[in-house]
Amino acid sequence: MPGPRRVDHVTCSVCRVTTRTSVQPGVRVRGRRWATNKIDGPMFLRLLKYALNRDHAEPRWFNTPAAPQDRYDVVIVGAGGHGLAAAYYLAQRHGIRRVAVFDKGYLGGGNTGRNTTIVRSNYLTPEGVKFYDRSVRLFEGLAEELDTNLFYSNRGHFTLAHTEATLRTARWRAEVNRHYGIESTLVGPEAVKDACPWIDLECGGKHPIMGALYHAPGSIVRHDAVAWGYARGASRLGVEIFQNTPVTGIEVKAGRVTGVQTAAGLIRTERVLSAVAGSTPTLLKMVGLDSPVDIVPLQACVTEPMKPWLDTIIVSGSLHVYVSQTARGELVMGAAVDPAELHSTRSSLEFVTGLADQILDLFPFLAKVRINRQWAGMADMTPDFAPVMGKTAVKGFYLDAGWGTWGFKATPVCGETMAHTLAHDENHPLISAFGMERFERMHMLGEKGAAAVGH
Ligand code: PYC
């Protein structure tokens, strides 16, 4: 198997050119040319010009009106990536522009800003594989579509196997993936070492690496840039975004949505999309629906910056670790979900000590590296580890939930499919298997084997 190549997509916000740079693992990215345009010249000159001249203030990414209107065609609850992407595609693809997005906090401040930015489509079920493949494809063209540098960086993704059972699941995933045209393959330990020479294949003698599922499209992308890019795109098309404006109730009359109570007053609407991850049970209660969703914290952390040494994404479900290196040189890492349900974003010492213990088995040379920040998101878990999406028993109430530990990578496809579903009042074909009614019928999807995170 050839070593994975790293491909970075860098989009210049002045001249809108997306440059792809490609390197072999371990080789520094060199020779990135300054993007230029005819008017402003190279980007660094433009930065100087704008930084030093008050008359050239950068335009705001979006403006919020002083107060919401009385009525909207669609109200979206949650200004994270999913809600904003749905708003963008509603306006851009379906011409539905009287859309308001409300968030109780700040834009992208929920799970969008709290994940470890991994994008992949190496799922286990055909439904999951097709869905996430569409997401990866949308991600690949997103910087250009949103005219925003998303720092999309194609790294390749290794899911390590330390046991026969994990190898079997990896082989199964590779087969399903390839059936749907997705580049996933089972590789031996030497391919892992080729791509990541710093790894200890013996893991300190405790859990030797027997092989891995290698997934070429695996990538990382700057999470806040995705949310802000969608926000700007939606806002340019007329969508209104209200931060720090909680939705406190949803009016339902005769089984239909008629309005939304917000901190800024009552808004009339017949269509509401809930895209609130860890607050899903709260929203469902507002419309009288019960939920199969549990909320569990998922913690992550970031180290101080280091010289580039990790060009790929390394995941070990058995060791409960996943790690990648950002363009700034920090390692972004996470572990298993917390062991019990908890509606909180507190992060713990127990998490970092546990994670350090495991990561040092893989990379002993990291012993002296300091952790700069740690945080938690609230993962909304379903019993079968697949999402809950689409129409619900309440007419006009649409759900985008059950993202567990893999919601960020679904951002574009959720936006696209939920916009279609709201616009046509008909579930998009890619989400038809994800309806809430599957739990009543016991039609579970069984996606747990594709989780990167221990549960
Ligand atoms: O699903 O790839 C994933 C993932 C990585 C970290 C948390 N989830």
Q: Is the CB of 221 under 6 A from ligand 1?
A: no
Question: Which ligand 1 atom sits nearest the alpha carbon of residue 298?
Answer: 7
pLDDT of residue 6: 63
CATH topology assigned to domain 148-219+295-379:
D-Amino Acid Oxidase; Chain A, domain 2 (3.30.9)
pLDDT of residue 433 exceeding 50: yes
pLDDT of residue 11 exceeding 70: no
Per-residue confidence band for 35, with pLDDT thresholds at 50, 70 and 90: very low
Greater confidence, 163 or 33? Answer: 163
From 111, 184, 315, mutation site for ligand 1 pocket: most ligand atoms within 8 A of C-beta? 315
Handedness of CA 246, 428, 295, 283 (dihedral sign): positive
What mean pLDDT comes out for the span 424-430? 98
> How far apart, in whole angstroms, are the C-alpha atoms of residue 349 and residue 301?
11
- How remote is the CA of residue 83 from the centroid of ligand 1, in Å? 20
- What residues are paired with 75 via a beta bridge? 100, 272
pLDDT of residue 119: 97
CB 345 within 8 A of CB 297: yes
pLDDT of residue 38: 43
- How remote is the CA of residue 406 from the centroid of ligand 1, in Å? 5
pTM over 0.85: yes
Going by CA atoms, what residue is nearest to atom 7 of ligand 1?
Answer: 405
pLDDT of residue 25 exceeding 50: no
CB 331 within 8 A of CB 323: yes
> How far apart, in whole angstroms, are the C-alpha atoms of residue 331 and residue 274?
32
Q: Is the CB of 116 under 6 A from ligand 1?
A: yes
- The average confidence (pLDDT) of the chain is 90
**CB neighbour burial string for 205-216, b if at least 16 within 10 angstroms, e if fewer:** eebebbbbbbbb
pLDDT of residue 128: 96
- How remote is the CA of residue 448 from the centroid of ligand 1, in Å? 12
pLDDT of residue 2 exceeding 90: no
pLDDT of residue 315 exceeding 70: yes
pLDDT of residue 112 exceeding 60: yes
What's the pLDDT tens digit per position in 167-220?
999 999 999 999 999 999 999 999 999 999 999 999 989 899 999 999 999 999
How many CB atoms are closer than 10 A to CB 34? Answer: 11
Q: Is the CB of 6 under 6 A from ligand 1?
A: no
Q: Is the CB of 403 under 6 A from ligand 1?
A: no
| Measured CA distances, 387 to 171, 291, 406 (Å) | 24, 12, 9
pLDDT of residue 10: 59
What's the pLDDT tens digit per position in 69-95?
999 999 999 999 999 999 999 999 999
Question: Which ligand 1 atom sits nearest the alpha carbon of residue 334?
Answer: 6
- How remote is the CA of residue 96 from the centroid of ligand 1, in Å? 33
Portions of the chain given CATH number 3.50.50.60: 74-117+224-293+383-451
SS (H, E, C) the chain: CCCCCEEEEEECCCCCCEEEEEECCCCCCCCCCCCCCCCCCCHHHHHHHHHHCHHHCCCCCCCCCCCCCCECCEEEECCCHHHHHHHHHHHHHHCCCCEEEECCCCCCCCHHHCCCCEECCCCCCHHHHHHHHHHHHHHHCHHHHHCCCCCEEECCEEEEECCHHHHHHHHHHHHHHHHCCCCEEEECHHHHHHHCCCCCCCHHHCCCCCEEEEECCCEECCHHHHHHHHHHHHHHCCCEEECCCCEEEEEEECCEEEEEEECCEEEECCCEEECCHHHHHHHHHHCCCCCCCEEEEEEEEEECCCCCCCCCEEEECCCCEEEEECCCCCEEEEEEECCCCCCCCCCCHHHHHHHHHHHHHHCHHHHHCCEEEEEEEEEEECCCCCCEEEECCCECEEEEECCCCCCHHHHHHHHHHHHHHHHHCCCCHHHHHHCCCHHHHCCCCCCHHHCCCCC
Task: Copy the structure tokens of residue 449.
Answer: 């084997």
What mean pLDDT comes out for the span 285-311? 96
- How remote is the CA of residue 162 from the centroid of ligand 1, in Å? 18
- How remote is the CA of residue 263 from the centroid of ligand 1, in Å? 34
- How remote is the CA of residue 57 from the centroid of ligand 1, in Å? 38
Going by CA atoms, what residue is nearest to atom 4 of ligand 1?
Answer: 452
- How remote is the CA of residue 436 from the centroid of ligand 1, in Å? 23
What mean pLDDT comes out for the span 445-454? 84
Per-residue confidence band for 20, with pLDDT thresholds at 50, 70 and 90: low
From 111, 112, 114, 116, mutation site for ligand 1 pocket: most ligand atoms within 8 A of C-beta? 116
What's the pLDDT tens digit per position in 378-392?
999 999 999 999 999
Q: Is the CB of 219 under 6 A from ligand 1?
A: no
Q: Which residues 6+ apart lie within 8 Å of 211 measured at CB?
A: 160, 161, 167, 170, 186, 187, 188, 189, 192
Least confident of 46-60, 120-134, 294-308: 46-60
What's the pLDDT tens digit per position in 45-59?
767 777 777 777 777
What mean pLDDT comes out for the span 298-306? 97
pLDDT of residue 23: 41
pLDDT of residue 206: 87
CATH topology assigned to domain 74-117+224-293+383-451:
FAD/NAD(P)-binding domain (3.50.50)
Portions of the chain given CATH number 3.30.9.10: 148-219+295-379
Per-residue confidence band for 36, with pLDDT thresholds at 50, 70 and 90: very low
Going by CA atoms, what residue is nearest to atom 2 of ligand 1?
Answer: 452
Q: Is the CB of 322 under 6 A from ligand 1?
A: yes
- How remote is the CA of residue 452 from the centroid of ligand 1, in Å? 5
pLDDT of residue 97 exceeding 60: yes
Q: Is the CB of 118 under 6 A from ligand 1?
A: yes
Report helix angle 81-94 to 223-236, nearest 10.
30
pLDDT of residue 3 exceeding 60: no
Q: Which residues 6+ apart lie within 8 Å of 84 measured at CB?
A: 101, 107, 227, 230, 231, 234, 241, 415
Closest to 352 (Cα-Cα) out of 331, 373, 379: 373
Q: Which residues 6+ apart lie within 8 Å of 346 measured at CB?
A: 297, 376
Going by CA atoms, what residue is nearest to atom 1 of ligand 1?
Answer: 406
pLDDT of residue 421: 98
Q: Is the CB of 123 under 6 A from ligand 1?
A: no
